[in-house]
Amino acid sequence: MNVAIISVSKKGYELSIKLKKLLDSDSTIIKCDVYHKDVKNTFNLLFYEYDSIIAIMASGILIRSISHLIKSKTTDPAILNVDDNGNFVISMLSGHLGGANKLTLKIADLIDATAVITTSTDVNKKLGIDVLAKDLYLSIDNTKEILHFNKSILDGKKVSFTVNANAKNDYLYDYLNNNTLEMDVSIYFSSRIKNGEIEAECDNHKIILKPRKIVFGIGCRRGKTCNEINKAVNKVLNELNIHKSRINMLSSAEIKKDESGLLELSKSLDIPINFVDLDRLKLFRSEDVQKSEFVMSKFGIYGVCEPSALITAGFDSKLIYKKTAFDGVTVSVALSK
């Protein structure tokens, strides 16, 4: 997630600097930038450039500054509102698909504040269909149905999920077992459902959920074992709360194509691995990729795990976990559009 923090007052600016330092150490925060004053023009410039904007200011200033920019829950960034003293963190916009509710909880925990979340499904301890899609990195074919689904869920209507029996759906079963709360949920199997897709039905309305590609980019020192690499991968899975069956592909640079640890990991997980050509890595450009002068001096490329993950995930993919080192193993995670 790329985050912008905007403040108005001196106290707000001091809080934004403190918050930036805390977020910079979070592997799920790819970039965090701080802006101060000139609020209206800043919002006009940044509204669609960041996944999330944290506004440290009075709510009235925030609302008047973004009202003309708001378009849709599927495209608007997550907007959080924090007071100058850091007493409250309020999820204001794009609570589910934009991730504002979860970020609100994270920020409140970091600065010891009270989180304020008002979405109906959350306050009634129900699982919104858009929350499920966000958590499992699934796209929704008809976002107009979200409102009807969530209203029906609040009314206690049954939700059914139909999948192809031959698909790897362990991640869905695991998620529903842990998150259905008081919902009435059933799972059915049908060959008419495309492999990997999920059909959700509630109160005679249907939504098709399609998995976005998740790629784990991996770099490692020569000779790292499968077990050592797997430990690093498991740590990232736990941080992102992703089931192992949700990984679509592993990736690394072609200079690692003979690494037995990587090859063994791919085989043991039954997940294909893509080794990206050095020429493609040399040409690849992204502002989100961390540059390593050491890797450049040895191989002529600025990095391994981040660019290989983004290339493998495809055009317009983005990082959801930046390069993080685990005892000689580096891991990043890219998500397709």
In this structure, the answer to whether residues 201 and 174 fall within a common structural domain is yes
Give residue 40's pLDDT: 92
Confidence grade of residue 178 (pLDDT, cut at 50, 70, 90): confident
* Domains of the chain: total: 3
Confidence grade of residue 303 (pLDDT, cut at 50, 70, 90): confident
**pLDDT, mean over the chain:** 93
Percent of the chain, pLDDT > 90?
A: 82
Over residues 42-58, the mean pLDDT reads 96
Over residues 63-87, the mean pLDDT reads 95
Domain closes at, from 118, 136, 155: 118
Confidence grade of residue 180 (pLDDT, cut at 50, 70, 90): low
In this structure, the answer to whether residues 135 and 243 fall within a common structural domain is no
In this structure, the answer to whether residues 193 and 273 fall within a common structural domain is no
Domain closes at, from 211, 234, 265: 211
Q: Give me the domain span that covers residue 40.
A: 2-118
Per residue, what are the HEC states of the chain? Answer: CEEEEEECCHHHHHHHHHHHHHHHCCCCCCEEEEEECCHHHHHHHHCCCCCEEEEECCHHHHHHHHCCCCCCCCCCCEEEEECCCCCEEEEEECCCCCCHHHHHHHHHHHCCCEEECCCHHHHCCCCCHHHHHHHCCEEECCHHHHHHHHHHHHCCCCEEEEECCCCCCHHHHHHHHHHCCCCCEEEEECCCCCCCCEEEEECCEEEEEEECCEEEEEEECCCCCHHHHHHHHHHHHHHHCCCHHHCCEEEEEHHHCCCHHHHHHHHHHCCCEEEECHHHHHHCCCCCCCCCHHHHHHHCCCCCHHHHHHHHHCCCCEEEEEEEEECCEEEEEEECC
Give residue 296's pLDDT: 80
Q: What is the CATH number of the domain that holds 32?
A: 3.40.50.11220
In this structure, the answer to whether residues 202 and 239 fall within a common structural domain is no
In this structure, the answer to whether residues 39 and 148 fall within a common structural domain is no
In this structure, the answer to whether residues 140 and 98 fall within a common structural domain is no
Confidence grade of residue 181 (pLDDT, cut at 50, 70, 90): low
In this structure, the answer to whether residues 192 and 219 fall within a common structural domain is no
Confidence grade of residue 182 (pLDDT, cut at 50, 70, 90): low
In this structure, the answer to whether residues 248 and 327 fall within a common structural domain is yes
Percent of the chain, pLDDT > 70?
A: 99
